[in-house]
Structure 1
């Protein structure tokens, strides 16, 4: 509401004072009704009302509406105020319309005409009022009425800066309502060049608009990258006196810097031109340098502005994931924040380091802060910071520090907050399985988990330890002994009883030779827990008892006595009653041979993906950093012992995709089909973390699993496997918002000519993706002939009534159909010489390394490319030599590769030879792009 000064609108001031002085709700309503009656009579009976009086009465109606009362008159008087030349009267008219006029109102035509008149006015104040009203209403009618005029205002050379600024924000509001209003063609260049405007306010508003336009059509607005980098460079290198009007507590234009850094995160890589990329890296380097400088002010506003730019720059560095030096420096800078007194800074530092931990360039740098992160997990006062520390420990864990991190997490579990215990249990179980070099350690960890936090151990965790023990002979005796000792504790969790019952029922005979764990002792120990357990656990124990009858005939009578107990044969639980009666009869009438056949040891579980990751992602969508489960396989419970495991696991996903690893796949071949967590960070990003657009199809040339695309709304992950000329992709769509994604339709962009090269079959998905949910889509591909361009997919959906469309390349490059081929040096060079007959059989590239040369990183990329890396073949130990066969339906093409690094010149020479020129060229181009 406008301020009431002096005698201005005295009646309004008196009315507001009367309302505030009302002693009851009834008195307030009475006073309001009296005023409404007075205003109505004035509007109807007094035709001599001037603009001031109309303004005063319209203000009273606005105040009454804001108190929660319906207003059904006064609209026409408000519209009449729009034609006034006085700013205060026009302002109140626009305010009333913005708040109270429905878009379906009959007055909308009059309102639109008045707004058009003001947009054509020479008075910039009137133009701004009109633009603000359009933006406040923001309806489709407004978009249709003014969609042509506002862009003209925005790019016109005659428009004042303050109007351009409002026009950009108004156009952004209308674009979110109706994306068709933005013209293309020459308008694209004119809008992009607003980034060069001399007025910083115009540039700030235009950056917000361009960011939204880029998200819809990144290719069309790609020209904004160089201008954004140029503008960012000028801001970063400027002193606070150069941009005095836009300096906030000694930080030049911090909010514009943040917007530009976010804009650049829409592209991967943000700049293809080496000059632009170099300038951007200089900007990021300068921002990191300034973060090290002593603060120019002790006020919190200075540090907030400075850190806002710093964290956005770090987000861009992480998004690029290509500059090793910047990534390590960013990690070191974040490490300093881990000990900062500000809780928010510590939280944001831990969150950003989670992303850095997944980069091959900065993973080791993150590990250097392990001790500080462990202290954060234990000592932080804020539970959200402790949770973030747990996430970072999970992300930084590898084979070198797994045992230490797992032990620290186990120690903390005893005093951890209840809200994070279940998630910690899942993470400890995943890490223990992934990095277990000795499965006795894995068994110890899981049993400790059950002992420390048994209530938070989900079924999937204890299923998994049973599956691993059954599939590995070397750990069965140790597991039986360990679980037997654990069951002797006076207070034993029911999950421990389940694990103990299952393992002793299968492998109790392995420890029965010791009198301390004789068959009778095992049976009595388990049965001492029987009456304290739930019906489901009792049913499992009954199955263990009948197994004992087969393993230990000497305690048959003891077991039969338990089956005969009234509490079992007459149990109210039908499952217990049925098991007791059937097992009793089986133990009586079955011969030893029949009993041994029926109750034989559980067979090995079929190898499939672990379900623990699926449970973790379901609990916290997107929270899990990318991780592989050890061996990439998880058994699905088989049919034997009892039905408890089978029936329960049918209600959860045994694995996310069901892709099995090809038996012939070799470590590092790139075709291992292991499971990754394909969602990124969904929850927890509201704490000033950056919502990014992430799309880099090139990184999938040398990997099969990971996040393919990510923005504020959706995350798309991929998991794939290939065998000869066949490929299978699982696409995972994760909704990152609190609203459902409607009309969700993925469409394959693949014409008839392309279809002659590759056959693709895609399964449809449900049209609605619920809030926070994840769905998967299967795609089968067959390579028919060699091709150069990978297939694309268009994904369209509606979010909050706004249409969205995403175009992306699928990770189906020709190298995915490689079969690694092993050969000795003599065979390799003989074949190499045979393929040297003509240029049509080879392709060669000499190129400069885009990052500091790292032969170990190069080795990792080449191994992921899909060919067989032949060590010791080349006389120069630094050279990489590979061989492979590309499988197609019509033919098989042998391919040889040689990569020669020149460390002094920081150059690579890549040579590819094959029996087909097009294959040589494509393989050479694909691999060269990785360096």
Structure 2
């Protein structure tokens, strides 16, 4: 920008540059803005020169990042100035400060049109540049015909015409109706005969946009595009200034081949032959050289030519040349070229004839799995997966298994899934398939989904010849000192069904099988215990005549778990204990599982979903305003007012529909045939002391999320999807005027449920709302228990779930009245779509004399979708180093932290399902933790945390959070920061842990918030 003769502007820029700090710069800018505002108020006295000077200053201030919310009218008015210096300033500043929807632009339309249709080429270029930069729908309707006339005018210079082509492209993108196809297709073909390469390049950009919407009208342009390619690639008939490192106008070549790909085929044999000759020349003439710029240009042309070859389905000889060329590229040192080579090889797999040729490069592709760049490793994995068939399946799967132990955490789930699919599709025999899956679980159990071991069970169940072999292999893996929980599930299931086939083998007697499985019981989670109980029942059933010692051992286990607070475990233990006393009748009840119906593998659908989700994720969107979770609770709060009356409470039956399960590990095995389901469809409900414990085992009619499904499973249906802003806006209303005050502190109850999965969410003199939840990966199931504490019914009952945009929640129907002393259940199915700290809100209302409405936060929070994972030093440090800085690794100094020791902080992290990893940081004042976050968008994503504390000042620390997803890193960092700053004091104290035989009542658990860190439930 020319500043000659504008001393005031030069002085202002010097003052800004010489500012000592940001505050001084801001003061200088504010002073100048005040001066400009004052001068604009007296606009009548301003000359064009002065107005130009002040508008230049406004633009400079805007470019520095400051808001400029005035002076737009003055900038637009300069467009109509008669002299070039003022008009230039008007056009430049207007295009920078205003967008297409600004009202002031309407004032300039007539002036812009006059400049376009005028005779002054300089003014035409200024006007076309403005319209091309910010032209919207109004500009397109008013100016498109004039721009078209300029483009096809023979009297205009090429400088104006190429700007007109790009301007028309902008207008067409905003409003496709401005280009009338009937009259324009022939004109477009004539433009492709243009000799000026600049006009031709701009016109080709316009053609690409036109044919992408409607290629049928532009068939006449196809032979012209081929002639353009001949002119460039074969004849090299272009001026020297359009030759880039010896390549004739590579941008025009790329655009031309892109336009040809929108036509489905080429019918004319001469045109097709000419095009293939050009493509052959491009393929044979491209090689890797030392000059980076030339490489970039030549490879841009080459890869577009490859795409065109694949699009036209060329003959096999040319395809072979393409594969051979790509084979060279995947072996070069330049990572970008290797990436493009692998990606294009993957695309060429769509052409089935070249699969055998690609196999020749299998060794190099496998080598790419060990590339330092994770993007290249992903492309190599995709290519291996696509090129696998019966002939090379064994080699590829074995390579994937070897690579699994060294693979990044971000790739392990996808790697495991694809290895399982390949083993299933191309297994030479089923015993090899079983071996592969068992190795897979052994090497990467945390990343093996339940669908994989469900599929193994289906194969084994449906193939009798495989059953004894699978049982033997399962028995061998159980001998290992440490195996993954998924291996325990699979081995226990297989041995429960088929261990009797191994009775004559050493170490495989029923007592020995039971003993080795029972050793794993203390190490497994709650979701696996039901499978082990089923295995014990099966072992007992197969032991005929019964072994008294074994029988007593198993009965003791059943008896112990009859009082378990987990409803499914309790139900199975009670039923198996009762059934096992029936003697030989047990053989009929617990008979071997029947064959599964033949069906498409669920793994294939899962792989398709995974591939759809691995597209480039959107950039990190930081929130404009942080929403604090405490703002969502708007009901009044009062301390508990003493003990509650204890009376009998009956259960209200809810209409039944099928229930989705996300927790029980053997759901996929038992649901179809129901061999283990022995449930009375309408069991009697004995009186129970529910006000003392709303979630007691007798108050729940059927286990939430249980594998054994009863006929009275709960209603699913209403799905409410609101975005986060809508839900927050609804929730943050002014304080309500309810005359009914809650019992206890609502915020403390909510924070308690963020750390445990059952308790009281809300209570007032009329109703108690309890919550019981189960979480697995990115799925969750909450059951709300609405208990009427009065001797009169509650009417006009309504529950509405307002989920944020990152949660998908299906809500069951709830009766509009709750009978006296009764309880109803409201199950909620939750799916976590992506990382976020926003919370779902329960809008609950009822009528009991007066209308009561409360809005409560639901404990479906970020830490519910994480699972702790132990990371060794060999796994931690490569992953930590690979996440090298923002936005994947964020660091912040957090002040105002509630003082706590390292041990207390470790306990706090454990309560949030963060696994503290001792020994990774040599500084005893530092803490390192890891966990796995689950959502539909991220799948299983490893998160790493490092806390650096100062023993001299426990109120501050430095926190570093890293993960493979920018949004997850930010959200997780903010979540931990919130907990460190705002965690209630009551949550920090230790609490006694009750024994399993004495389940804590909800009322008791909720009255002592300190019990949450001790993990009462």
TM range (shorter): 0.5 to 0.7
Contact 2:128-2:164 at 8 Å conserved across structures = yes
Paired residues of 1:214 and 1:266 also in contact (CA < 8 A) = yes
Deviation string for 1:102-140 (max 9, x for gaps)? 655553333001101110122222111111111222221
Aligned length: 635
Q: 1:411 to 1:72 in 2, by over 3 A?
A: closer
The answer on whether the counterparts of 2:117 and 2:146 sit within 8 Å (CA) in structure 1 is no
Change (3 A) 1:264 1:519: same
Match of 2:188 in 1: 191
Deviation at 1:560, TM superposition (A): 4.8
Give the direction of change, closer, same or farther, for the CA distance of 1:567–1:321 in structure 2 (3 Å limit): farther
- 2:282 maps to 1:299: no
CA displacement at 1:8 relative to structure 2: 3.3
1:264–1:316 CA contact under 8 A, matched in 2: yes
Distance 1:237 1:106, change over 3 A: closer
CA contact (8 A) 1:257 1:309 kept: yes
Deviation for aligned residue 1:422: 0.7
Give the counterpart of 2:429 among 438, 441, 458: 438
Q: Shift of residue 405 of structure 1?
A: 0.7
Give, in whole Å, the separation in 1 of the partners of 2:347 and 2:73. 57
Question: What is the distance in 2 between the residues matched to 1:563 and 1:282?
Answer: 81
1:477 aligns with 2:487: no
Q: Which residue, 387, 411, 433 being the options, matches 1:420?
A: 411
Counterpart in the other structure of 1:20 = 17
- The 5 Å alignment of 1:58-77 reads 58-77=55-74
Over 3 Å counting, the alpha-carbon distance change for 1:92 and 1:329 in structure 2 is: same
* 2:976 aligned residue: none
Q: Aligned-pair distance for 1:642?
A: 5.0
1:639 to 673, 698, 705: 673
CA 1:496/1:57 → structure 2, altered by over 3 Å: closer, same or farther?
same
Partner Cα separation in structure 1 for residue 489 and residue 163 of structure 2: 66
> Equivalent residue for 2:443?
452
CA-to-aligned-CA distance 1:507-541 (integer Å, 9 cap, x gap): 11111221321111111111111111111111111
Deviations, residues 642-671 of structure 1 (Å, cap 9, x unaligned)? 5799689x99xxxxxxxxxxxxxxxxxxxx
Flag the 1:401–1:318 CA change in 2: closer, same or farther, 3 A: same
Instruction: Tell me how far apart the structure 2 counterparts of residues 266 and 103 of structure 1 sit (CA, whole Å).
Output: 30
Quick check: 2:6–2:53 contact (8 Å CA) kept in 1?
A: yes
Alpha-carbon distance between aligned partners in 2 of 1:318 and 1:27, rounded to the nearest angstrom: 60
| 1:519 lines up with 2:510 in the alignment | yes
Name 1:275's counterpart in structure 2. 270
1:528 corresponds in structure 2 to: 519
Contact conserved, 1:119 with 1:127, CA < 8 A, in 2?
Answer: yes
CA distance in 1, matches of 2:478, 2:673: 26
> Structure 1, residues 397-451: CA drift from partner, whole Å, max 9, x if none?
1111110111111111111111111101111111111111210000000000001
SS at match of 2:216: coil
**TM-aligned CA deviation for residue 622 of structure 1:** 7.3
Q: 2 CA distance for matches of 1:442 and 1:35?
A: 76
Question: In the alignment, is residue 285 of structure 1 matched against residue 319 of structure 2?
Answer: no
Shift of residue 556, structure 1, vs aligned partner: 6.4
From 592, 605, 608, the counterpart of 1:617: 608
**Is this contact kept in 1: 2:136–2:171, CA < 8 A?**
yes
The equivalent position to 2:565 in structure 1, one of 546, 549, 572, is 572
TM-score w.r.t. structure 2 length?
0.60
Specify whether residues 562 and 29 from structure 1 end up closer, same or farther in structure 2 by C-alpha distance, changes over 3 A only. Answer: same
Helix, strand or coil at the partner of 1:620: helix
Shift of 1:563: 4.1
Cα distance in 2 between the residues matched to 1:115 and 1:636:
73
Aligned-pair distance for 1:389? 1.1
2:252 aligned with 1:256: yes
Helix, strand or coil: the match of 1:361? Answer: helix
1:261 CA displacement: 1.2
Q: Displacement, 1:192?
A: 3.1
Q: Is the 8 A contact 2:205 2:255 kept in 1?
A: yes
Counterpart check, 1:321 vs 2:313: yes
From 140, 143, 147, give the equivalent of 1:143. 140
- What does 1:358-437 align with in structure 2 at a 5 Å threshold? 358-378=350-370, 380-437=371-428
Please state how far the C-alpha of 1:46 moved relative to its aligned partner. Answer: 6.2
Alignment check: 8 A CA contact 1:606 1:635 kept: no
Aligned residue runs from structure 1 range 774-785, under 5 A: none
Between 1:405-414 and 1:594-603, the stretch displaced more is 594-603
Shift of 1:47: 3.8
Are the aligned partners of 1:328 and 1:361 in contact in 2 as well (CA < 8 Å)? no
SS of 2:568's equivalent in the other structure is helix
The alignment partner of 2:296 has SS state of helix
Aligned counterparts, 1:136-285, within 5 A: 136-239=133-236, 242-269=238-265, 271-285=266-280
| Counterpart selection for 1:336 from 328, 332, 347 | 328
Q: What's the CA shift string for 1:66-102, capped at 9, x where partnerless? A: 3343334323332332123443322210122223346
Give the secondary-structure state (helix, strand or coil) at the position aligned to 1:220.
Answer: helix
Contact 1:607 1:635 in 2 (8 A): no
The alpha-carbon deviation at position 24 of structure 1 amounts to: 4.1
Q: TM (normalized to structure 1)?
A: 0.65
Change (3 A) 1:462 1:180: same
Q: 1:367 and 1:326, CA in 2 relative to 1: closer, same or farther beyond 3 A?
A: same
Distance 1:203 1:392 in 2: 38
Contact 2:530–2:572 under 8 Å retained in 1:
yes
Structure 1 residue 557: deviation in Å?
Answer: 5.0
- After TM superposition, the structure 1 stretch with the greater mean CA deviation from structure 2, 443-452 or 278-287, is 278-287
Distance 1:501 1:426 in 2: 22
Q: SS state of the match for residue 536, structure 1?
A: coil
Check conservation: 1:607, 1:636, Cα contact below 8 A. Answer: no
Following superposition, the deviation at residue 147 of structure 1 comes to 2.4
**Contact 1:608/1:636 (8 A) holds in 2:** no
The 3 A distance-change label for structure 1 pair 463 and 623 is: same
Which of residues 304, 307, 314 in structure 2 aligns to 1:312?
304
Work out whether residues 543 and 641 of structure 1, in 8 Å CA contact, stay in contact via their aligned partners in 2. no
Alpha-carbon distance in 2 for matches of 1:238, 1:11? 55
User: Larger deviation: 25-34 or 305-314?
Assistant: 25-34
Shift of 1:50: 3.1
- Show CA shifts across 1:146-202 (max 9, x none): 122222222222232122211121121122221211112121221233222111111
Identify if the C-alpha distance between structure 1 residues 318 and 46 changes in structure 2 by more than 3 Å, giving closer, same or farther.
Answer: closer
Stretch deviating more after TM superposition (348-357 or 555-564)? 555-564
Distance 2:467 2:27 in 1: 83
1:10 maps onto 2:20 in alignment: no
Q: Deviations 1:202-257 (Å, cap 9, x if unpaired)?
A: 11111111111112112112322221111112111134x74312110111110111
- Partner residue in 2 for 1:36: 33
Contact 1:138 1:173 survives alignment (8 Å): yes
Q: What is the CA–CA distance in structure 1 between the aligned matches of 2:43 and 2:612, rounded to whole Å?
A: 63
SS across alignment from 1:517: coil
Are 1:463 and 2:460 an aligned pair? no
Aligned mates of 2:486, 2:7 — CA distance in 1 = 75
SS at match of 2:427: coil
1:599 aligns with one of 580, 590, 594: 590
Q: Flag the 1:61–1:563 CA change in 2: closer, same or farther, 3 A.
A: farther
Query: 8 Å contact 2:100–2:136 — kept in the other structure?
Result: yes
Distance 2:291 2:279 in 1: 24
Sort the Cα spacing of 1:540 and 1:462 in 2 relative to 1 into closer, same or farther, 3 A.
same
Deviates more, 1:417-426 or 1:72-81: 72-81
1-structure distance, mates of 2:228, 2:345: 28
Tell me if the contact between 1:9 and 1:56 (Cα under 8 Å) persists in the aligned partners: yes
